[in-house]
Amino acid sequence: MSVSVDLPETAPAIPAGQTRVAAIDCGTNSIRLLIADVDGASGTLSDHLRLMEVVRLGQGVDKTGRLADEALARTLDACVRYAQLCEAYGVQKIRFVATSATRDAENRGEFVAGVKAALGVEPEVVTGDEEAALSFRGAVSVLGSKYPGPYLVVDLGGGSTELVLGGSAPLAAYSMDVGCVRMTERYLQSDPPTQEEIAAAAQDINAAIDEASRVVPIERTGTLVGLAGSVTTVTAHALKLREYDRDQINGAVLPLKNVQKACDDLLARNSGERAALGFMHPGRVDVIGAGALVWSTVVARVQAAVAQAGGNLKTTVTSEHDILDGIALSLG
């Protein structure tokens, strides 16, 4: 699903002391681009362009162990378009990070060669821990001091979900092999999914959280922060938006009951009903049910863990700043 963007006639001037960078995040479901100026001294970003294309690179990887030819073609086509934008904006540094789907694929060498040919840089197929650290850095870079720590940052992707607990830096992190594409392909085959399918997926998600909580002390969570497309889409639904509005979604603080209600509603809808929602990206229609199930399960488990430890978690915070911001900041 390609996106058409007009190229600037001339590249915008680069402010003194700053570096123009391109951060590319290639996940299981989408490939995203951020072109921004980084002020290394202050650790801040000034955006020029943010793009997202749903290319479904992870199509069938969970079953076959390989990147599908058509998925590779879609992704590399997007890379060519991103290269044109980088040149037009006068980008000085590019970092390309590839996550869950390419970690799992036996033919990832074809992907690496194709990206290098298009963009001139080799994609970094990062580990789950590296992915978590980059997501955490991006998310907390804009939180300031208005929310109590520690933060539990949850980056809910297509193939994996990262849990990262920390303050100014990560203290503990774990990458779970559950995500909206992976859970859809494994379990949620009906439209809408059946209760049996939902129960099977929830069992898998809870087992993953059991493992994660042995590494990440989720009961210490002061603020629960959700990132990435499934979470932002749930947030748009909870806010009853008519269309996707990044400014309203970013920083939204939602009562937990509102989050759960929005998740349950999206999971119960069929594809036609989801597609009719004005904020819904077409590339998320078939996987948002699973994304909502992962997010609602994580929220419930964290709330219960905090309560058992004597705390009281009442809200979530949604951030539009995530691994892309972390990648860009790493280039400053």
**What are the boundaries of each domain within the chain?**
18-125, 136-323
Q: Token digits for 131?
A: 């992915």
**CATH for the stretch 18-125:** 3.30.420.40
User: pLDDT 10s per residue in the chain (332 long)?
Assistant: 455 677 888 899 999 999 999 999 998 888 999 999 999 888 788 999 999 898 988 787 778 888 888 989 999 999 999 999 999 999 999 999 987 667 768 888 898 899 999 999 999 888 777 877 888 888 887 777 789 989 999 999 888 899 999 988 889 999 899 999 999 999 999 999 999 999 999 999 999 999 999 999 999 999 999 998 999 999 999 999 999 999 999 999 999 999 999 999 999 999 999 999 999 999 899 999 999 999 999 999 999 999 999 999 999 999 998 889 989 998 97
As a whole number of angstroms, the distance between CA 74 and CA 204 comes to: 30
Domains 18-125 and 136-323 share a fold: yes
pLDDT the model gives residue 171 = 93
8 Å CB contact between 241 and 248: yes
SS3 for 264-302 is HHHHHCCHHHHHCCCCCCHHHCCCHHHHHHHHHHHHHHH
Position 230, amino acid: S
Strand partners, 47: 36
Count of C-beta atoms within a 10 Å radius of residue 316: 27
- Fold assignment, 136-323: Nucleotidyltransferase; domain 5 (3.30.420)
Residues in contact with 268: Cβ distance below 8 Å, sequence separation at least 6, in sequence order = 192
CB within 8 A of 82, min separation 6: which ones? 22, 24, 31, 33, 51, 118, 119
pLDDT tens readout for residues 67-91:
888 989 999 999 999 999 999 999 9
Token pair of 45 as six digits:
């970003």
Whether omega before 150 lies within 30 degrees of 0, making that bond cis, reads: yes
pTM above 0.95, yes or no: no
* HSE (side-chain half, CA atoms, 13 Å) at 301: 23
Q: How far apart are CA 85 and CA 188, in angstroms?
A: 37
Q: Which two tokens stand for residue 12?
A: 């915008």
Q: Specify which residues 260 forms β-bridges with.
A: none
